[in-house]
Structure 1
């Protein structure tokens, strides 16, 4: 069995990466859809708040104590994937942080072997806290990758975390040349 604190650390790294992608970006850039499916930075935060509240809340009989209106199944599809004009960056990030704290408390209170039921799953139930924690780590880091690409599309910012780009140290000219070499190699298959 994995150490629960190690798993929470990995989950927190993904959470922090997603929120960090909002830093320094304009209101427009955090909201605008930059893929054909509408993926946007603030929508990712909103979505993660909702799913984490469900997976580490109601799944284990510890529902998040605040309403999350966009989790209503009668709303339009993908209502959780974009921010309406009245939903502020600060409000959504603050909600996400409160959900994170509630989730961490659920994990620590119940322990890794506690069982619950994911109402929207049909293939695997019951589930353990540890199983859902691993699922959320994967889900959060997947969306952190989306956020990294969307932020790079928005304004060119890229990297893993504040103070750690996890990219080669190079100037804009080097990156331009590198991209050209990659494009040239791909063009061989046109």
Structure 2
């Protein structure tokens, strides 16, 4: 494969994960996207906010292309878990808009640099990393959080699915699933 084919494949995987994450918010009321559904407070809007900060850090700051985004608590830039929930004054439209804006900024970084371009991550165990490594990391990181969003969305309203029109679930009604769980 050529570098441009590898880059296109990684970008396709990343964009598929980004789209799936935002799809998990569709059709829910405000309370549904903000509602903490796990003991640690995981919620749909918080996952989007967190990934906004991650894309900005890895594809912006790391390569000398900073972009405004929520700071990541894990790097000591915010209070614990601040990037994992929406404050009362942050709207869904603002958080989703910020995510789209930061993703577009990240896409420019990805398109403009070769896969072996080196950036510097000022936190964590690996300080000098390639664009290829960060692309693979962000595909995995985003898919990981999409998995969280799958579970949270199912807990909020029972909706499941990998993408619109594909619930990716074995056929069965509520009684069948109850029996299956037991």
TM-score of the aligned structures, taking structure 1 as reference length = 0.88
Q: Deviation per CA, 1:64-120: give whole Å up to 9, x if none.
A: 1xx335448453211100001111111111110111111111011012111011111
Structure 2: gaps (5+ residues)? none
- 1:68 maps to what in 2? 69
Matched residues in 2 for 1:54 and 1:70: separation? 8
- 1:128 maps to what in 2? 130
Q: Does 1:116 align with 2:119?
A: yes
Q: Does 1:58 align with 2:53?
A: no
How many residue pairs match? The answer is: 177
Greater Rg, structure 1 or structure 2?
Answer: 1
Matched residues in 2 for 1:37 and 1:12: separation? 27
The alpha carbon displacement at 1:30 in A equals: 0.8
Matched residues in 2 for 1:86 and 1:48: separation? 19
Name the SS of the counterpart of 2:25 in structure 1: coil
Runs of 4+ in structure 1 over 3 Å off: 69-75
Q: Which of 106, 130, 134 is matched with 2:109 structurally?
A: 106
Q: Does 1:27 align with 2:30?
A: yes
Distance 1:50 1:162, change over 3 A: same
Q: Deviation per CA, 1:126-155: give whole Å up to 9, x if none.
A: 100010000000000000000000111111
Matched residues in 2 for 1:175 and 1:116: separation? 48
Matched residues in 1 for 2:127 and 2:72: separation? 21
Map 1:1-190 → 2, pairs under 5 A: 3-64=6-67, 67-71=68-72, 73=76, 75-121=78-124, 123-180=125-182
Name the SS of the counterpart of 1:127 in structure 2: strand
Distance 1:168 1:142, change over 3 A: same
TM-score of the aligned structures, taking structure 2 as reference length = 0.91
Aligned 8 A contact 2:50 2:70 in 1 = no
Name the SS of the counterpart of 2:123 in structure 1: coil
Aligned 8 A contact 2:55 2:138 in 1 = yes
Matched residues in 2 for 1:69 and 1:51: separation? 9
Moved more, 168-177 or 30-39: 168-177
TM-align CA RMSD: 1.6
Matched residues in 2 for 1:119 and 1:70: separation? 14
Structure 1: gaps (5+ residues)? 181-190
